[in-house]
Amino acid sequence: MNTTVDETLRSRVRNLDAMPAMPAILAPLLRCLDLPPDQIEVEKVTELISCDKSIAAQCLRMANSALFSRYTHIETVRGAVVALGARRLRDILWTSFLIRMAPKNQWPLNPTAFWEHSFGCALVSQQLARKVLMPDPEKVYLCGLLHDIGELVNATLIPDDFRKTVEFAVSKNISLFEAELEIMGFTHCETGKLLGEYWNLSPDVQKTIEFHHMPGQSPAPAALPALVHLSDLLCRLRGMGYGYDELLEVDFHTDPAWALLEQSVPQLDRFDVARFTLELDADAEEIRHVVAAAFQT
Using CB under 8 A, which of 237, 243, 288, 295 touches other proteins?
237
Give the shortest CB-103-to-other proteins separation in angstroms. 25
Per-residue contact flags (x/-) with other proteins for residues 155 to 194, judged by CB under 8 A: ------------------x---------------------
Cβ neighbours for 177, distance < 8 A, ≥ 6 positions apart: 187, 188, 189, 213
Q: Which stretch binds other proteins (CB under 8 A): 94-102, 203-211, 214-222, 243-251?
A: 243-251
Cβ neighbours for 262, distance < 8 A, ≥ 6 positions apart: 268, 269
Q: Of 74, 116, 71, which Cα lies nearest the Cα of 285?
A: 116
220 contributes a contact to other proteins by CB under 8 A:
no
Are 216 and 32 in contact by the 8 Å Cβ rule? The answer is no
Query: Cis omega (within 30 of 0) on the bond before 221?
Result: yes
71 contributes a contact to other proteins by CB under 8 A:
no
Using CB under 8 A, which of 79, 221, 239, 243 touches other proteins?
239
Distance between CA atoms of 289 and 123, rounded to whole angstroms?
14
Using CB under 8 A, which of 2, 11, 72, 105 touches other proteins?
72
CB of 8 or CB of 173, closer to other proteins: 173
Distance between CA atoms of 177 and 181, rounded to whole angstroms?
6
In the complex, the residues that contact other proteins under the rule CB under 8 A are 70, 72, 173, 233-234, 236-239, 241, 245-254, 272-275, 277-282, 285-286
